[in-house]
Amino acid sequence: MSSCPFLALSERLRLTGRKKPIPLTQSAKAFFQLLQSEKEAPTIAASRIQQAQAQITKSGTYQLTLPELTYGCRLAWRNSVRCVGRFFWSKLDVLDQRHASTEEDIYHGCLQHLKHATHHGDIRSTVTVFPPADSKGRGPRIWNYQLSRYAGYRINKKQILGDPAEADFTDLCLHLGWIPPKKRTPFDLLPIVISLPEKKPRLFPPPKKVTQEVSIRHPDSPCLNSLRLRWVALPVVSNMKLEIGGISFPAAPFSGWYMETEIGTRNFADENRYNLLPDVARRLRLDTSRPSTLWKDRALVELNRAVLHSFQKAGVRIIDHHSASASHLRFEQDESKKGRSVRGLWDWLIPPLSGSTSPLWNRSYDPTEYSPNFLTQKSPY
């Protein structure tokens, strides 16, 4: 280990490529040292490290104070190599639900997250933190990829009504006893599935009352109206774990606001999702006889225009991919002024529409992940 304190601290906080877990005492110490090194962080008493280590010795773990948890969550967002929206990291709202003890508590915490974060369309970046994992890594889990997503019903081996990305989870919900609407549509909200350690998963009703949806209409003509498209206003990723100071929170739903390409380019246009480009092109009367007419490109732009227009008309916060790239550049500049480097995954930061027009296109990034962070975890099903 290097004799340089900063490098030693960075080594202890690094997550990517690590073969052995870091002892909890070391992770806690590194986290508190990180807080002590940042002006924006809450004040940490000199005795805090010793206090945490004493708690670990006695009980095998320690508890973060609310200011420590709040700043740790914000650091986790700041360290998220896949996120292009990190300019707003210091504004993250943190809802502390570590006291939740039952599946019902967690379900109501999820509903509260949706209500708080949606904020009638004036969306607030939010994370809700449920109880941490125990010493064996077991903790509460939310089985949904996102709190509000649409079902994918298998009609036959090749045809799915709704979102193909949710077909397996829809099968699971049906197996657990979910009764979908009598008249199924491509946009039926899925139930929420929650489990506690050593217990079977429990099914809870779709969060209809607290899920705002936006009807998608084209700004210039009614050409898309017959598709009856809509999408949820708020993306709440609920299948990742939050790691702060060596403590793992396997249920920590996190949300910002949409970039329009997430809906228009990926959810709607990907061939393995709703695959709408052929339908959009027909309604726009584009020549689809050969690829060189660029009908896919033209349909894709118009679909993204429709998403932006519809969200803006509905008063729901959304950002276009050009503005998102510019905000990430401002984030990089702010971090550079504070002597901090920015890490990222290039293919996640470049928008899936007109990528070469992004100011991030010619930049390179170190993809190493550091703690605190939001991390992928093994699916429970």
Residues that are catalytic: 83, 86, 257, 262
The two three-digit tokens of residue 338, written as one number: 């504070």
The two three-digit tokens of residue 76, written as one number: 């986790």
Q: What 8-state DSSP symbol labels residue 215?
A: E
Q: What Rg, from alpha-carbon coordinates, does the chain have? A: 22
What angle do helix axes 24-37 and 48-59 make, rounded to 10 degrees?
160
CA count, 13 A, side-chain hemisphere, 324: 25
Strand partners, 237: 146, 254
**SS3 call for 373:** strand
C-alpha dihedral sign at 353, 354, 358, 363: positive
The two three-digit tokens of residue 368, written as one number: 């190493």
Q: Write out the H or E segment, with its range, that includes residue 329.
A: helix 321-337
Using an 8 Å Cβ cutoff, are 380 and 195 in contact?
yes
Task: Tell which residue, 74, 70, 67, 131, has the closest CA to residue 97.
Answer: 131
